[in-house]
Structure 1
């Protein structure tokens, strides 16, 4: 999975990109958790979502927000990170001009940024939010939510309680034209430590429902080890 450097609003954006060679392949952008609490593009949740889209025939991009890893700039508490995500999506779409569809996914802080980008980019037709911090950040901009997607959290998450996520989902369910599914992974904390398999069962199941099951790959599929 090649490393790429994208010219961003604060300087270089460090990224990893998987290109799907098949014509007219869809694209997906994956956003990582809070930069000031150890979030990087090599976060386990981010990595596993990246691979879930890859094996379904997507060209996929994940990157480090400004000030993380080799990405230049300083943490901006939201606005700058949204600009980084918009720039990354521009790059992904320019490199895949014939992509018929676009998805976005994020973990924790990354899901908050992802949903803001969703509101600005009508071409995004699906989303996955893992541990969306509904008790820490304002999601009222989702009025209405323009696309259908999944929100999933851990039952033992002490950072973002299930009640907060459920309340957000219930508000979104009152809106028309978008269906927001909600799932809770038993025994999982905010980081899904030792519960990654349960999380991916939920995410894979949702993607199977929306996109169909991935085609079997010939030979052994190479999977990059996550940090």
Structure 2
């Protein structure tokens, strides 16, 4: 799990990178929660999602947005952070030219950034979004959503109530054959304190079911960038 420094749009971006187990390993990018709310790549949710993909043999990267940790720059209302995420994905792809597809996972603000990224990058084949802040940011950019994924949200989330997420995401249009699943995690709040094991279990269950479908769909396709 080496530390890495990535040349970013506003200077260096700090990251943790785990190479894939195979020459054609898929890619996973992990985006952390809000920089001004204590979000960073060492948050428990980010580390947990990183470990899930790493253990599955993905070339996996988690990183700090600009202005967090040793990453240079300052908070940019999401615009700069989306550019950071795109740069981080470019960096991983440069070391994994044979990757058949990529996956994005994010918590809260990071989920919002990750879902914007997948709209711009056809190589992103799926997503994991934990507690997306649907009452704080506009999600109408998902028009239509091009990749299947899952949203996991705590029933006791006081920052982004589950009903707010459900109301927004139920209206999202998707491309043919695409499905956005939504699951409520009983008792969990926005940070999933004391509920990380349940969150991990649900992510693993989803990936066990979904990844074989993605692999089958893309095994005869060349990487798209």
After TM superposition, is the score higher than 0.5?
A: yes
Q: Are 2:82 and 1:47 aligned?
A: no
Whether the 8 Å contact between 1:173 and 1:180 is mirrored in structure 2 is no
Query: TM (normalized to structure 2)?
Result: 0.92
Contact 1:41 1:47 in 2 (8 A): yes
**Cα distance, 1:175 vs structure 2:** 5.3
Q: Which residue of 2 aligns with 1:125?
A: 125
Q: Counterparts of 1:70-149 in structure 2 under 5 Å?
A: 70-149=70-149
Q: CA deviation at 1:101?
A: 1.1
* 1:169 correspondence with 2:169: yes
Q: Which runs of 5+ in 2 are unaligned?
A: 213-225
- Is the CA contact 2:12–2:72 (under 8 Å) kept in the aligned structure 1? yes
Once the two structures are superposed, residues 4-50 of structure 1 have per-residue CA deviations (whole angstroms, 9 ceiling, x without a partner) of 00000000100000002412000000000000000000110111001
Answer yes or no: is the 8 Å Cα contact 2:2–2:17 preserved in 1: yes
Q: Deviations over 1:85-104 (max 9, x none)?
A: 00000001011000011100
What is the root-mean-square deviation in Å for CA atoms of aligned residues?
1.1
Length-normalised TM-score, structure 1: 0.91
Structure 1 residue ranges (4+ consecutive) displaced by more than 4 angstroms after TM superposition: none
Label 1:174 to 1:82 Cα distance change in 2 as closer, same or farther (>3 A). closer
Q: State the Cα deviation string for residues 31-83 of structure 1 (Å, max 9, x = none).
A: 00000000000110111001111111101000000000000000001110001
Moved more, 122-131 or 172-181: 172-181
Question: For 1:89 and 1:175, how far apart are their aligned partners in 2?
Answer: 23
Question: Structure 1: any 5+ residue segments left out of the alignment?
Answer: 213-227
Deviation at 1:129, TM superposition (A): 0.4
In structure 1, distance between residues paired with 2:52 and 2:175? 28
Could you tell me how far 1:174 is from its partner in structure 2?
Answer: 6.4
Q: Deviations over 1:126-150 (max 9, x none)?
A: 0010000011100000000010000
Contact 1:9-1:83 at 8 Å conserved across structures: yes
Matches of residues 151-170 of structure 1 in structure 2 within 5 Å?
Answer: 151-170=151-170
1:14–1:63 CA contact under 8 A, matched in 2: yes
User: Is residue 140–residue 172 contact of structure 2 (8 Å, CA) maintained in 1?
Assistant: no
Residue 61 of structure 1 corresponds to which residue in structure 2? Answer: 61
CA–CA separation in structure 1 for the residues paired with 2:101 and 2:145: 17
